[in-house]
Amino acid sequence: MARVLIAGCGYVGSALGEQLVADSHEVWGLRRNPRTLPPGIHPIEADLAGPDGCEDIPTDIDWIFYLVSPSGSEDALYRRAYIENLQALFDALDRRGQRPKRLLFASSTAVYEQHDGGWVDESSPTQPERFAGKRLLEAEQLALSSRVPAAVVRFGGIYGPRRTRLIDRVREGRAVYPAEPQFTNRIHRDDCAGVLKHLIELDEPEPIYLGVDREPADQKTVLNWLAGVLGSPEPRLAGPGEARSARGNKRCRNDRLIESGYTFLYPTFREGYRAVLEGMD
């Protein structure tokens, strides 16, 4: 049995905590409002950036999952969440003389600036132009250079229970697609949790993994499939100014993750969205 801290125990962290508790690990979930944590997860009500943010972290922690998210879409908030708070956590561990066995840091495919529809993997250049990708990349480097053995997972777009915005747009006939193919990379929330749990249990994980399912899919393909399942009107071609920018247009490979031994619960968006739809009934 391991003693586990999930810093940022929110949408993904709560699902991860449930899996770990089911495996008889002792789990603490740190978040600003821990009242809705699943049963079995010990709550820690704290803000890592506060003066006492790390004071309630238990001793002898074996594993740490750093799954925080910024409280807004400003550069300063990204810096605080991903860099300043992570450094505060490392400083607290140093003060206490704690040396966890491993830390898993949840990053994003936003660190890749490629937008030509080509393939990327863990070795592809990371030259983000926007602040979100830049701060995440800085935080990755902070984690990987720390005294705590660490690994990074760059997740694609996370969907799952209660995240139904795309489904609602299709159901209501508001979905549009761009004229040029725009590839998207997704992963179901339960696979996010499964990936993190899988990697923490490996003896020698690679430093970086891409956390995406097995099929990068053109946005039009996803929308048309959902419309067919829902019996909704077919999505239409976007007019001027309606389609999202294709800056994130890329196809992410998950070969390294598959080779590590992980088996997806939802290998593609089809299985994943079917599960979401069944949960809405």
What are the pLDDT digits (tens) for 95-153?
889 999 999 999 999 999 998 899 999 999 999 999 999 999 999 999 999 999 999 99
pLDDT of residue 139: 98
pLDDT of residue 25: 97
pLDDT of residue 136: 98
Residue 264 DSSP code: -
Average pLDDT of the chain, as a whole number: 93
What are the pLDDT digits (tens) for 176-188?
988 888 999 999 9
Region 158-179 average pLDDT: 93
Task: State the chain's maximal CA–CA distance in angstroms.
Answer: 60
pLDDT at 245 over 60: no
pLDDT of residue 42: 96
pLDDT at 71 over 90: no
Q: How confident is the model at residue 251 (pLDDT cuts 50, 70, 90)?
A: very high
Burial class, 254, CB count within 10 angstroms (exposed 0-12 / middle 13-18 / buried 19+): buried
Region 8-23 average pLDDT: 97
pLDDT of residue 3: 97
Rounded to 5 degrees, what angle do the CA atoms 270, 273, 274 make?
80
Q: How confident is the model at residue 48 (pLDDT cuts 50, 70, 90)?
A: confident
pLDDT of residue 50: 66
Amino acid found at 51? P
- The DSSP line for 237-253 is E--TTTSPPGGG--EE-
Q: Could you say which of 3.40.980.10, 3.40.50.720, 1.10.8.50, 3.30.1310.10 is the CATH number of the domain covering 3-159+187-215+251-266?
A: 3.40.50.720
Strand 251-252 and strand 119-120: the pairing is parallel
Among the listed residues 269, 258, 147, 159, the one whose alpha carbon sits nearest the alpha carbon of residue 209: 258
What are the pLDDT digits (tens) for 220-242?
999 999 999 999 999 998 877 66
pLDDT of residue 34: 84
Contact at 8 Å (CB) between 100 and 62?
yes
pLDDT at 246 over 60: no
Burial class, 224, CB count within 10 angstroms (exposed 0-12 / middle 13-18 / buried 19+): middle
pTM score: 0.95
Map out the domains of the chain as residue ranges: 3-159+187-215+251-266
Rounded to 5 degrees, what angle do the CA atoms 266, 269, 270 make?
85
pLDDT of residue 247: 57
